[in-house]
Chains A and B, each alone.
Chain A
Amino acid sequence: MVKSLEQFNMVIVGTGGQGLITLLQIISEAALAEGYDIRTSELHGLSQRGGSVEVHIRFGKKIYSPLVMRAKADLILGLEMQEILNGIYFANPKTKFLINQFVIPISLKKPLSENETLNQLKKISKNITIIPADKICQEKLQNSVVSGIYLISFATFKNLIPLKSESIQKAIRKIIPEKFLELNLKAFNLAKSRS
């Protein structure tokens, strides 16, 4: 991807407890290591507990706002199939969507089908990648908890995030506690082999 790195705007959407803040930390550390200015925004407390959550990550030459502006996202990462729709506020026709093919039902409601979701997204942008990250991590690593790490690693190998994969790997080493590091690095390597 050729992109003058004036700025890169990313929004991650998912539900509280899916580890969005860890992903935010890893991408920010990688961006800092590459010399960019960074601002991010996250939510804590009541906004967790399984509710819809979005975090914002921006890096580039000089960044002011920690929030991505409406319709200005370069990449929207959805950790859940339906939650991606909560990201469309930030999308424009050039926005890339990367989605975890994984559904967490909303209580008392029938989940939207994958096609219903995709039809909505296609009204805005055709750049949609769906990856069954939970399934892949469960099958290959017997643990789907690292699906987010798999996805951001995949996004970096595919140049959906304009950072070097080594920077992401280094950031994983820095952020993830020793106890879980091996599993997370395996998810990174798995993404490498699949991309």
Chain B
Amino acid sequence: MEEILSNRSGEKIILLGNEAIVRGALESGVNFVSTYPGTPASEIGNIFYKIAKEVGVYFEFSVNEKVALEAGIGASFSGLKTLVAMKNFGLNVCLDALIPFVYTGSKGATVIIVADDPSCHSSAQSEENSRFIAEAAHIPVLEPADPQECKDFVKLGYEISEKFKIPVIIRTTTRVAHQKAPVILGEIKNLPKPEAGFVKNKNQFVTLPPRVLEMKKELIEKIEKIKVFSEKSNLNKVVGNNKSKIGILSSSISYLYVMEALKELNLNIPVLKLGFFYPLPEKKINNFIKPLKKVLIVEELEPYLEKEVKRLAKEANCKLEVMGKKLLPEIGELKPEYVTSAIAKITGKKYKFAISNLKSPIAKRLPQLCPGCPYWLVISAIKKAVDVSKVIFGGEIGCYMLFGNSPVDLQDYLSCMGSSVGIAHGIKKATGQKIISFVGDSSFFHAGIPALINTVFNKSNPLIIILNNQTTAMTGHQPHPVSAEAGTGIKIENVVKACGVKYVKTIDQSNQEEFVNTVKEFLEKDEVSVIIATLPCRFVAKK
């Protein structure tokens, strides 16, 4: 941890992708950092939480990603150099604030980290590919492949943001964010902190029509200028033998698999490595594909680059054979062996793995609630209180989504944060069936409160169990509004009451009898009811 602050410029140290992002922000002189924790981006916030005071940076865990981005927008409007970090689903949460921010543009340079998780190693809900945002919001997106690039691209992101007054997204994936490799340190300059001040400027900050459409025009012109920058940038570079008629186009982690595969196959063919996902350097791509007969596009998940190359090839080289998802999976992350097989196929090289089709005879273990987790007591109380086959159980995001695994099996639907309550309301309105929905403490503040108010406003009667373990446990025990270190004095029960809920009880779940009886009693109510289970996560209790 001390190493990340090392001022020995030129030194080579091992950093995790997320640590390199922090280092890049520090070397750029970041002033303001906000985030909501989400794997695989969580370490960025965890590190700033530890070092912020020492390095003179403002840091906060915000209540959700939308608020985190809005805080960042405010800081940027006031002239501060800003970093906002989130996982892919966080991007969905903050989308409403993000799109107008690209219209207004940034004042203080702003970089937004978005971490995708192909193969859903640490994500329920969907295998989301955040690349969609680039076209939708007209926001520049850079894709680093390794920790060194994480650091360098963050710095370049700030330069682009500074130069063009636009926020820039750095998109990582699990295998980039959680990759360790040597990184050569740059200098952390002791820049004087910029004088923060919000200077009124309707023309820039107010997206009211008719001005908003002029802003859109200005934004599109900005992107054209950034495209010229992208064309010249060495982030988009060709490596390997230019004479071959077969080429490869790739980016991010997939590029590392391509290079590994070429080494394994002992091949030397040209590779266009793209650091910019948006705007794409179209001329560079055209020049690359012009002399080729075949090109293989190596990218994870949906074929965004493949579609672009097919579109460009129509003019640049209409006979070009463009291959991608024909040879590589669209679901799940890529692996070096998949890329090796695909390249062997297009080049006609014979390649066989030393072993064929031996499968492990044991299934991979699923994660479980920790031994001693206070949620076990909630599970046991519910199993004592109700016939679980006759009650619907709403789940959502946090440790308690593991209620879906056997032998617990208390989860009949699972979607995004806060949704257990919103969906319960809809099912109640549609069917009147009995429902218990679970919502975590951090989740309740993140997105549960509007849904709870909606059950009061539109009158439905699910039983909601708020699991207050006093921390954001799943992502590594970050503080939230009612955790002890926050010291806000907010009480969930008061919030629930203020939402207009009449039947609310705060219970220590080790008092099983009271918990069981309250579940039975509240399930019969004709209005929404809430139980708040108060035992802390054992890792918080240990602190």
Check if A82 sits within 8 Å of B407, measured CB to CB: no
- B residues within 8 A CB of A70? 335-337, 353, 355
Within 8 A of A (CB), among B343-364: 353-355, 358, 360-364
Q: Which of A47, A91, A92, A108 contacts B406 (CB 8 A)?
A: A108
Check if B260 sits within 8 Å of A65, measured CB to CB: yes
Q: A40-B179, A65-B257 are in contact. Are A71 and B354 (CB under 8 A)?
A: yes
**Which 5 pairs, one residue from A and one from B, show the smallest C-beta to C-beta distance?**
A45-B39, A45-B122, A49-B367, A92-B354, A51-B367
Q: A37-B182, A39-B181, A41-B178 are in contact. Are A50 and B336 (CB under 8 A)?
A: no
Check if B122 sits within 8 Å of A24, measured CB to CB: no
Residues 65-88 of A, flagged 1 when their CB comes within 8 A of B and 0 if not, give 111111100000000001101101
CB pairs A–B below 8 angstroms (15 shown): A28-B14, A38-B182, A40-B179, A40-B180, A46-B474, A47-B121, A65-B257, A66-B180, A66-B256, A69-B336, A71-B353, A71-B355, A91-B355, A112-B361, A123-B358
- B residues within 8 A CB of A40? 179-181
Interface: A194 (CB within 8 A): no
- A residues within 8 A CB of B355? 70-71, 91-93, 124
Can you name 19 extra interface pairs (CB under 8 A) apart from A38-B182, A46-B122? A16-B367, A25-B14, A40-B179, A44-B40, A44-B476, A45-B40, A45-B475, A47-B121, A48-B367, A50-B370, A51-B368, A63-B181, A65-B260, A65-B336, A66-B180, A83-B365, A91-B355, A92-B354, A108-B407
Residues 282-297 of B, flagged 1 when their CB comes within 8 A of A and 0 if not, give 0000000000000000
Check if A124 sits within 8 Å of B358, measured CB to CB: yes
Q: How far is the CA of A91 from the CA of B357 in the complex (A)?
A: 11
Interface: A120 (CB within 8 A): yes
Q: A43-B121, A43-B174, A69-B340 are in contact. Are A24 and B362 (CB under 8 A)?
A: no
Q: A42-B180, A70-B337 are in contact. Are A86 and B364 (CB under 8 A)?
A: yes
- A residues within 8 A CB of B337? 69-71
Q: A44-B40, A69-B336 are in contact. Are A50 and B367 (CB under 8 A)?
A: yes
Q: A66-B256, A71-B353 are in contact. Are A46 and B180 (CB under 8 A)?
A: no
Q: How far is the CA of A86 from the CA of B363 in the complex (A)?
A: 8
Interface: A193 (CB within 8 A): no
**Which partner residue on chain B sits nearest A70 by CB separation?**
B337
Q: How far is the CA of A49 from the CA of B367 in the complex (A)?
A: 5
Interface: B95 (CB within 8 A): no
Residues of chain A at the chain B interface (Cβ within 8 Å)? 15-16, 24-25, 28-29, 32, 37-52, 63-71, 82-83, 85-86, 88-89, 91-93, 106-108, 112, 120, 123-124
**Which partner residue on chain B sits nearest A68 by CB separation?**
B336
**Which partner residue on chain B sits nearest A69 by CB separation?**
B336
Q: How far is the CA of A88 from the CA of B361 in the complex (A)?
A: 10
Check if B361 sits within 8 Å of A120, measured CB to CB: yes
- B residues within 8 A CB of A63? 181
**Which partner residue on chain A sits nearest B124 by CB separation?**
A46
- A residues within 8 A CB of B122? 43-47
Check if B14 sits within 8 Å of A67, measured CB to CB: no
Interface: B366 (CB within 8 A): yes
Q: How far is the CA of A49 from the CA of B402 in the complex (A)?
A: 10
Q: How far is the CA of A86 from the CA of B474 in the complex (A)?
A: 24
Q: Which of A38, A69, A83, A108 contacts B180 (CB 8 A)?
A: A38
Check if B353 sits within 8 Å of A32, measured CB to CB: no
Check if A82 sits within 8 Å of B367, measured CB to CB: no
- A residues within 8 A CB of B358? 88-89, 91, 123-124
Q: Which of B12, B256, B360, B368 contacts A65 (CB 8 A)?
A: B256
What's the minimum C-beta distance from B339 to chain A, rounded to whole angstroms? Answer: 9
- A residues within 8 A CB of B327? none
Within 8 A of A (CB), among B373-415: 399, 402, 406-407
